[in-house]
Amino acid sequence: MKSRDDSEIYGEGTLFAGNTGNIISVSESFCKLTGYRPEELSDKNISYFITRISGIENFFNFKYDNSPDKKRADVLFRKKDSSEIWLRTNACRKSEDCIRYRATEITDLKEKKEDLQNSKNILETIFNNVPCGMVIIGDDYRIFSVNDKTCEITGYSSEELTGELCDIICPKGKQSKECPIWEKKQKCFDGMETAVKCKGGYRNPVLKNAELVNLGGRNYILEIFQDLSVLKAAENRLKESEIRYRELVNNSPTGILLIDRDGNIIDMNHAAVKIYGSPSSEETKKRINIYNHPQLGQSAEKLRECLREDKLISYEEYYSSIWGKELYLRYDASPNHDENENITGITVNVQDFTERKKAEVELNNKNEILCELNEKLTLTEEEMIQQLYEITEIQRALTLSNRKLKILSAITRHDILNQITVLRGYIEIANGSEDKNADTYLNKMDSAAEIIQNQIEFTGHYEELGISEPKWQNISEIIRKLRNKKIPVKNGCGDLEIFADSMLEKVFYNLMDNSIRYAGDSPEISLTCEINQSSAKVYWRDSGTGVPKKEKERIFQRGIGKNTGFGLFLIREILSITDIEIHETGIYGKGACFEITIPNDKFRT
């Protein structure tokens, strides 16, 4: 059995346990980490404190496995205060009955990885739920990825499209040699009305935008397209409706005028042209303004009333046409409204009552003649009765004729107004189906696409963390590679090697990039090292302004910075893989100083 003193020599977060997980002893640092006293852990089975294990299922039970060395698991450990922390635990057999476990808290790393996964899931959700098709195409013309809307538009599944040449859906693919980006070297194009080839051989009309993007160091085309099939169908229905409307209006026996708020005739049918005796509708619209025409004073007054009171107005008037016709016309005027109920003009139905008016005048004249004869002639009773009967019949016929004409006029007017209302309704419905917000949608994707691009690029870098095993890397060799960028770095680290993640070169590249961004294109950069018994420190200094005190830790947070905001955050993540720390310790106003602290078992000279 190991003593407590024996466990201390192995450093922070160390415990010893038997083959079945019974705790033999723990280090003080492990107690500080978990909040327990040694006697509260001793002789307990470690599984009692474990909530979850990520890695080897029976990590703390090597009864049937005598080779636990170099095995690792992440465990969720319940502390004394009932809170939970993640520990990255490495096992090493010390004797036949004793296994040493070294534990490092990785709660923040786990949470960050979960945040990263959540961000990735959110991006994938956005990618698959945007109301537009999205396709990513490589420089080999092969489809790298598609979203769900693309599959919906084309009829293909994601599996059927991924990895295939883009010719499967794109008319201007590799075989056509007409690709605007790969062939014609354009960086982007917007608002191209084209079509996508769909499963089954048909083509769907789309409005396509495309842009050259860089993902993980490789160029791709990001295509975004909106399905226009519904819009095109609506346009066709609108055209058909307009044709039917025009045919109905032009074939109506009643004249129809469309007049704007200023009294201008903006449209008229064939019947109206015929009534006025005009040579053409264009000539009528050109020569007549209702408000200014000297012969249309009553019409001007009535139409203004129609606009002012927003109601149906009916009236009759004599009109001497400028084309030589003497007319008696019946008008029924109703206001037109837009989608916001604002009055935009007037629809006027015009009926030629000239012949009817002549008949009325003629009947009135005959009636007057009869009255005069009745006064002048002395008639026999029988003649008087006969004359009276004739007069009565004439009056009855006149009355009946007038009544029928009025009824016919009212019915005709009502039917035509109903038809116009129905036609307006159809047109408003058809117009309402157009996508009036198309520009606004395209502008947000473009922004989403830009956001997606930045997030995907960062995700690509972040996913590389921890994939390869850490290795010994010479700092001076890395700095020599940076010198290829023609940026002088005074290197005083000699042959110092660091045991770090394979992305260590990215650390110094990003530090160089940071110095250039904040210290100018020609910064003075120095790299120095200090080594003592417990650690080594590497200092990266530049000649810039430096970092204010309150910003020294904040700059390592994700999204902080002038560019993408991921550089310093990624640096700290890369170094933390092997317990290396980085802080900004410079004096503001005298330049930046990034202090990298390396544990004694992670460096060598």
30 vs 9, 46, 417, CA distance in Å? 13, 13, 90
Q: Which residues is 219 bridged to in the sheet? A: 214
On the question of pLDDT at 83 being above 70, the answer is yes
B/e letters for 350-381, b = 16+ CB within 10 Å, e = fewer, are bbbbbebbeebeebeeeeeebeeeeeeeeeee
Q: What are phi and psi of 377, to 5 degrees?
A: -100, 140
Please give the pLDDT value at position 438. 46
On the question of pLDDT at 17 being above 70, the answer is yes
Are 530 and 536 within 8 A, CB to CB? yes
Query: Residue 440 — very low, low, confident or very high, per pLDDT cuts 50/70/90?
Result: low
State the pairing for strand pair 525-531/489-492: parallel
Q: Output the pLDDT for position 389.
A: 52
* Range among 136-145, 360-369, 407-416 rated most confident: 136-145
pLDDT bucket at 595, cuts 50 / 70 / 90: very high
The widest CA-to-CA distance across the chain, in whole angstroms, is 156
d(CA 282, CA 284): 5
Reduce the DSSP state of residue 162 to 3 states and report it: coil
Is the distance from CB of 201 to CB of 187 less than 8 angstroms?
Answer: no
Residue range 290-316, pLDDT digits in tens: 888 777 778 888 888 888 888 888 888
pLDDT of residue 434: 55
* 360-382: average pLDDT: 75
CA dist 552 and 518 (Å) reads: 14
Q: What is the DSSP letter of 534?
A: S
Residues 108 and 112: their CA atoms lie apart, in Å, by: 6
Q: Report, as an integer, the average pLDDT of 430-445.
A: 50
Band of residue 166 on the pLDDT scale cut at 50, 70, 90 = confident
> Which residue, 204, 218, 109, is CA-closest to 150?
204
Cβ-proximal residues to 338 (8 Å cutoff; 6+ apart), any chain: 344
Side by side, the strands of the sheet bearing 84-95 are 23-26, 14-17, 98-105, 84-95, 71-78, 50-54
Write the CB contacts of 250 (distance below 8 Å, at least 6 apart in sequence).
Answer: 269, 270, 271
pLDDT over 80 (residue 317): yes
Mean pLDDT of 502-529: 85
Give percent of the chain with pLDDT exceeding 70.
Answer: 77
Contact status, residue 260 vs residue 344, Cβ threshold 8 Å:
yes
pLDDT(536) > 90? yes
User: If pLDDT is split at 50, 70 and 90, which confidence band does 462 have?
Assistant: low
Per-residue pLDDT, averaged over 100-117, amounts to 85
What's the angle, vertex CA 116, arms to CA 113 and CA 122, rounded to 5?
A: 145
8 Å CB contact between 252 and 413: no
The 3-state secondary structure of 321-339 reads CCCCCEEEEEEEEEEEECC
What's the half-sphere exposure (Cβ side, CA atoms, 13 Å) at 206? Answer: 28
Three-state DSSP class for residue 488: coil
pLDDT tier, 363 (very low <50, low <70, confident <90, very high otherwise): confident
pLDDT digits (tens, 9 = 90+) for 275-284: 877 788 788 8
For residue 76, give both structure tokens.
Answer: 């969720």
Query: Which residue carries 């198309």 as its tokens?
Result: 438
| Residues 6+ positions from 578 with CB-CB distance below 8 Å | 470, 499, 500, 501, 602
Q: For residue 244, give the 3-state DSSP assignment.
A: helix
Give yes or no for residue 443 having a pLDDT over 60. Answer: no
What number is the average pLDDT over the span 338-348?
A: 87
Residue 416 or 466, more confident: 466
Mean pLDDT of 89-99: 86
Residue 15's alpha-carbon distances to 37, 101, 437, in angstroms, are 13, 5, 64
pLDDT at position 5 over 50: no
Q: Is the dihedral of CA 253, 259, 263, 265 positive or negative?
A: negative
- Nearest-angstrom CA–CA distance, 216 and 453: 10
What was the pLDDT predicted at 7?
39
